[in-house]
Amino acid sequence: MNQFLTNIEKHKDTDLYDNKIANIIQKINEHRQRRAYYLRFKHSSVDFINGLNASQS
């Protein structure tokens, strides 16, 4: 019985770490998208704004 409870605790820890890793990966992906957005703006501001306006209409 003690071994079973120990395994449950280990799985809880593993689930906690899996969730933390998933959140970190999600944040990294959001930052990469944001960076790509600003790099497109930096490289060609006029084309970027024109494309943004075209996508909104």
Q: Output the tens digit of pLDDT for each of the chain's 57 residues.
A: 667 667 777 788 888 999 999 999 999 999 999 999 999 999 999 998 998 899 997
What is the model's pLDDT at position 5? Answer: 63
Q: Cα(53)–Cα(56) distance, rounded to whole angstroms? A: 5
Q: pTM for the full model? A: 0.66
Task: Give the pLDDT confidence score for residue 9 in this predicted structure.
Answer: 77
| pLDDT given at position 34 | 96
Count of structural domains, the chain? 1
- Its domain, for residue 47, covers 2-56
> 48: which residues sit within 8 A by CB, 6+ positions away?
40, 41
